[in-house]
Amino acid sequence: MAIIPYGKNNWFEPFNELESIQREVNNLFDFSLDRKPWRQKSLFEGQWSPQIDVYDTKDNLTVKVDAPGLNKDEIDVSMENNFLIVKGEKKKENEVKEANYYKTERFYGSFYRRLQLPVEVDAEKISAKYDKGVLSLTLPKKEKEKAKQIKIDIK
């Protein structure tokens, strides 16, 4: 009979290997997402993404994009292969020289959203309106060909 030493690194503890794998994966993500373990940095620090609603009506898709603090010239909207692309940049209003912030939660910097649309739209007829920090896009659906009904004789 073999004597197996008992200790923390005992081969009989089945979760040791899983914990080791989890640590390695966490370290991989920490460095690949520019998060250093010694710095407490939010995953999205330096980036932000406006919230978007997309809903369908009979004739149109409607997209609403929350972009508070931006002027309409700071937002760029385009279509590419049935993808809606919304991008822009939110600049800091004032740079504070002293470090006297108690808390800062507002995001600044560039953003890029690319949405695949659920239906084909007529890109030439898209209309946009920007009011009170909300960009509203109306995307008319493409006219589909009407299905032809063909009578088939049964013999």
Inform me whether the pLDDT recorded for 4 exceeds 70.
no
Q: Which pLDDT tens digit goes with each residue over 5-50? A: 555 555 556 666 777 788 777 767 655 454 444 444 444 445 678 8
Closest CA to 113 of 62, 56, 66, 60: 66
Q: How many domains does the chain have?
A: 1
In a domain, 4, yes or no: no
Q: What does the block give as tokens for 136? A: 């509203």
Domain ranges, residue 117:
52-92+107-140
| pTM for the structure as a whole | 0.58
In a domain, 67, yes or no: yes
